[in-house]
Structure 1
Amino acid sequence: MSSSSPRPYVIYRPPPGCGFWSNFSCVLQGLDYADRSGLVPVIDMERNPTLYNEDEPVDGVMNAWEYYFHQPGFLSLGEALTQDPLDNGGLIAGRFTTESPPVIPPLDLLARGRGLVEKYIRLKPDIRDRVDAIIPLGAGGDILGVHVRGTDMRKHRPPLHPAPNTAETYLEQAILLDQEFSYRKIFLACDEVETVALFRSQFRERLLTIPAHRTAMAHIDMPREAGFKWLFERDRDRHRYLLGLEVLLDALLLSRCGHLACGASNVSRGAMYFAPESQVVHSVPPLWLCPKDEGPSVGRSYLVGNPPLARQASARTLQGQMNELYDLLEHTEKCRIDAFLNWAATNMALAEANEKLLRLQNVHQEKALLLKKIEALREQVNDQKAMIETLKGRLSTLINRWTRFGWNLMPWKKPSWRKQPFK
């Protein structure tokens, strides 16, 4: 690399990342920095794999970004690594990666995202061809795109994620908008089997969907701690790659629609970054924003920052929203009682630990006293040893002197074998 060449900038998210469009928002964050800093961006989803990485190469590549896109800077990851690159250090915080995005991004952020997509995001030709075959570029002005987010967002209510509106609310909004604008087609992007059936019953042959893996709500009834096993652990060949492809196609097709009805989701936000400025977005706001487990309630302040429902909801739909809120309240109460029970169990364990610690402290104190006694006894023994040595010396001297005295008095008692006094 010559001294005048821009330096590579490696963009990655710490493994295993998260959803496809959540990962994409992190890429946008890195592209924004690279673009402002005059660096050449390179996406690393090989050394830092995502949930969508397969164990074997897909179309000859192991970098999950390159399953679907070309590198943005015409520089491969391998080439970049030989040119003393900078990297983002796995940092994902920024305007593009906010934890609780509104339904519609701020206009300046939306414009910036569209600029970055136009400049850096290069789709693989076969993926663009698949999108063109369903909704050709410029042919979706009279199509309504609807994105309904469900599954884990409804079941698990992850912290700082919106609690999405009901599928019935989305359907009613689509019906009202269709009555007003007379759409030719309705394109539905969703992750629940039940939602497709609901929309199909209303729009029938006018409904467009892509063949994709979708989940029945009953199949994700597992704790949040289990992660995405319900989604990613399937027997389908190249299942992880296909999950990424399907959600990418959904968002790209939503971006081709003249109108978009959506809630707060990285999927719909990604679609907006690919869409032209002419796209009209109709808000289907979430019902609430789930707080952090240890944090205060933030739902009310979050909803204030979002646009209201695009069209007035019916009493029946409002009742369905109330029922969803009741479920959310019940979920919260269950979490509260779980926390209370855990707190009680923790307190008991803490009390037991304190008792053990106290016993150990007592043992330690007894041990310390015993060690002091042993040390005192050792000192006494040493004193006694010193005294014995002294007495032995005195006794030897006394015997020696007595022997000499005795020999002088009674020389006839001196043994013939003794040459000198006893020492």
Structure 2
Amino acid sequence: MSSSSQRPYIIYRPSPGWGFWSNFSCVLQGLDHADRHGLIPVIDMERHPTRYNEDEPVDGVTNAWEYYFHQPSSLTLAEALDRQPLDNAGDVTGPFSGNYHVVVPPPEVLVRGRELVRKYVRLKPDILAKLDAFTSGNTSKDMLGVHVRGTDMRKKRPPYHPIPSTPETYLEQARLLDQDFGYSRVFLACDEQETLTLFHEHFGDRLLTLPAHRSTMDQLDDPVDWDYKWLFDGKRHQHRYLLGLEVLLDALLLSRCGHLACGASNVSQAAMYFAAESQIVHPITPLWMCPSVDEASVGKAYMADAPSLSRTPSAAVLRGQIKELHQLLEYAENGRAAAQQNNPEVRHHIEAVASINRESIQLREKIAKLQREKSQLLAKLEKLQGRLQVQAETIKMLKSRISILINRWTRLGWGLMPWSKPSWRKQPFK
């Protein structure tokens, strides 16, 4: 795409996109291109709606970007479309949209992201008012922000996305950091009700959270629901808009914390783009990264480059991580088996192998039966041979006795008869 000075540049992601901050990272990628080429960026989430778009306008606005932000320039989308704009053709690849797998973006990406946010990202006044109501408009240097990514990333485990550590790991790291730094408050951003309960039991009144839609782990369906109906099909008024508002405020509040404990997520990365350079990040190492079921493992290579936990975990937390990894292994094995069975060619081979296995089992059973029959026949043959030997010895004995008896009768006959012995009869009959 050729650049042209001061021409509008339409930035969009092919519908429906994914999460709120995943969409934002794609916008950031477009802003970077526009800024480098002297173009006027305009975000289009109207003709290319996201999962957060409502069927009806929100405060008279149909462009989901403008639910929460002003356009980056003074141009509206309608005005930009009248000025023969360029656009990104839906291409959102680049360093900002491709870093969802790391805890902290590379330094050059983080610095550039903060420049773009300060230059182009303008929050609506009502968003700023909600944010300031929680932090009085200032960065709370003595507040710890904790972002715990759960729900689908833990249970559904999308391929090529980091698997978050257990909520107990996040809690223990937060507790150990609190012992070292003595935070006045702990702000928790999470999407699971169980995690909120876990943190509240430990931090009590010091825990700060925003009222938001949170799921429970048993609400997630199996098999994987890639349409995210469990999340977006809520019953409250303007539910999709509110989902975006809640995760936006979560990230912005995380950005105002002096310390941030987080894993690999677009939410925590967005907080870093909005945060001051003085914010200290404490990594919560992911457990693994799942490949697609038909691809080779990438987890070992991913973990080799992953940052270590800020504080040494306890044995109990490590046992929980091992349990989670066991569940992950079971999930991966079941997913691979399901993928193979759903592939016609693979299914044909599986059925052929199964048929061969069945025939092999039948053949082994026949061989075993023949071997048993052979053993029985050999035993009978050995028994018959023994009986034949006994009978042969009996016959030999009888022949000897008969010979002796005939010989004796012959001698007796010659002795009693008056005739003489013939000349040819030299010896008794044998």
TM-score past 0.5 threshold: yes
CA contact (8 A) 2:68 2:124 kept: yes
Find out whether 1:247 has 2:247 as its counterpart: yes
1:295 Cα shift? 1.7
Q: Deviations over 1:81-137 (max 9, x none)?
A: 000000000001100111652101111100000000000000001101111110133
Aligned to 2:88: 88
Match of 2:203 in 1: 203
Report SS of the residue matched to 2:13. Answer: coil
Name 2:391's counterpart in structure 1: none
- Between structure 1 and structure 2, the one with the greater Rg is 2
CA distance in structure 1 between the aligned counterparts of 2:330 and 2:82, rounded to whole angstroms: 55
SS in 2 for 1:141: strand
2:10 maps to what in 1? 10
* Helix, strand or coil at the partner of 2:282: strand
Aligned to 2:78: 78
SS in 2 for 1:54: coil
Corresponding residue of 1:131: 131
Structure 1 CA distance, aligned partners of 2:347 and 2:325?
Answer: 32
Secondary structure of 1:101's match? Answer: coil
Root-mean-square deviation (CA), in Å?
1.8
Corresponding position of 2:155: 155
Check conservation: 1:259, 1:280, Cα contact below 8 A: yes
State the partner residue of 1:314: 314
Aligned to 1:282: 282
Shift of 1:224: 1.9
Matches of 1:162 and 1:177, distance apart in 2:
23
Return the alpha-carbon distance in structure 2 between the equivalents of residues 322 and 138 of structure 1: 40
- Deviation of the 1:14 alpha carbon: 0.2
| DSSP-derived class of the 1:98 partner | coil
Equivalent position amino acid for 1:170 in 2? Y
Cα offsets for 1:244-294 (capped at 9, x unmatched):
000000000000000000000000000000000000000001000111232
Deviations 1:183-229 (A, max 9, x none): 00000000000000000000000000000000011001232244210
Taking a change above 3 Å as real, the CA distance of residues 100 and 126 of structure 1, as seen in their structure-2 partners, is closer
> 3-state DSSP class of the match of 1:258?
strand
| Residue pair 2:43, 2:71 contacting (<8 A) in 1 also | yes
- TM-score, normalization by structure 2: 0.79
1:57 and 1:119 map into 2 onto residues whose CA distance is 27
* Match in the other structure for 2:219: 219
Check 1:335–1:141 CA distance in 2 against 1; reply closer, same or farther (3 A cut). same
Return 223-232 or 321-330, whichever deviates more.
223-232
Structure 1 residue 303: deviation in Å?
1.6
Q: Deviations over 1:293-345 (max 9, x none)?
A: 32211111112222101100000000000010011011112113223433578
Work out the CA distance in 2 between the residues paired with 1:349 and 1:317. Answer: 43
Cα-to-partner distance string for 1:12-50 (whole Å, 9 max, x where unaligned) = 000001000000000000000000000000000000000
Task: Identify if the C-alpha distance between structure 1 residues 70 and 297 changes in structure 2 by more than 3 Å, giving closer, same or farther.
Answer: same
Q: How does 1:316-335 map to 2 (within 5 A)?
A: 316-335=316-335
Paired residue total: 349
SS class of match (1:42): strand
Distance in 1, Cα, partners of 2:340 & 2:121 = 49
1:111-169 deviation line (CA, Å, top 9, x unaligned): 00000000000000110111111013334100000000000001111011001000000
Q: Distance in 2 between matches of 1:169 and 1:5?
A: 50
Report the counterpart of residue 116 of structure 2 in structure 1.
116
Inter-CA distance 335–51: structure 2 relative to 1 (3 Å threshold): same
The structural deviation recorded for 1:5 is 6.5
For residues 162 and 306 of structure 2, the distance between their equivalents in structure 1, rounded to whole angstroms, comes to 11
Separation (CA, whole Å) in 1 of partners of 2:64 and 2:324: 37
1:143 partner amino acid? M
1:235 is aligned to 2:235: yes
% identical aligned pairs = 62
| Equivalent residue, structure 2, for 1:183 | 183
Alignment-derived partner of residue 339 in structure 2? 339
CA distance in 1, matches of 2:81, 2:100: 34
Amino acid at match of 1:220: L
Q: Which amino acid aligns with 2:292?
A: K
Q: Say which SS state the counterpart of residue 140 (structure 2) adopts.
A: coil
With over 3 angstroms needed to count, the CA separation of the structure-2 counterparts of 1:286 and 1:351, relative to structure 1, is closer
Kindly indicate whether the alpha-carbon contact (under 8 Å) linking 2:293 and 2:339 is maintained by their aligned counterparts in 1. no
CA distance in 1, matches of 2:287, 2:201: 25
> In the alignment, what sits opposite 1:32?
32
Runs of 4+ in 1 over 4 A off after TM superposition: 343-346, 349-352
Closer, same or farther: CA 69–342 of 1 in aligned 2, 3 Å: same
Supply the distance in 2 between the matched residues of 1:187 and 1:225 (Cα, whole angstroms).
Answer: 30
Please list, as runs of the form range in 1=range in 2, the aligned pairs for 1:339-418 lying within 5 A after superposition: 339-343=339-343, 347-348=347-348
Give the distance between the partners of 1:186 and 1:351, measured in 2 at CA. 56
- Contact 1:162–1:289 under 8 Å retained in 2: yes
| In structure 2, distance between residues paired with 1:168 and 1:119 | 38
Note the residue ranges of structure 2 that are not aligned, 5 or more in a row: 353-430
Contact 1:258 1:278 in 2 (8 A): yes
SS in 2 for 1:34: helix
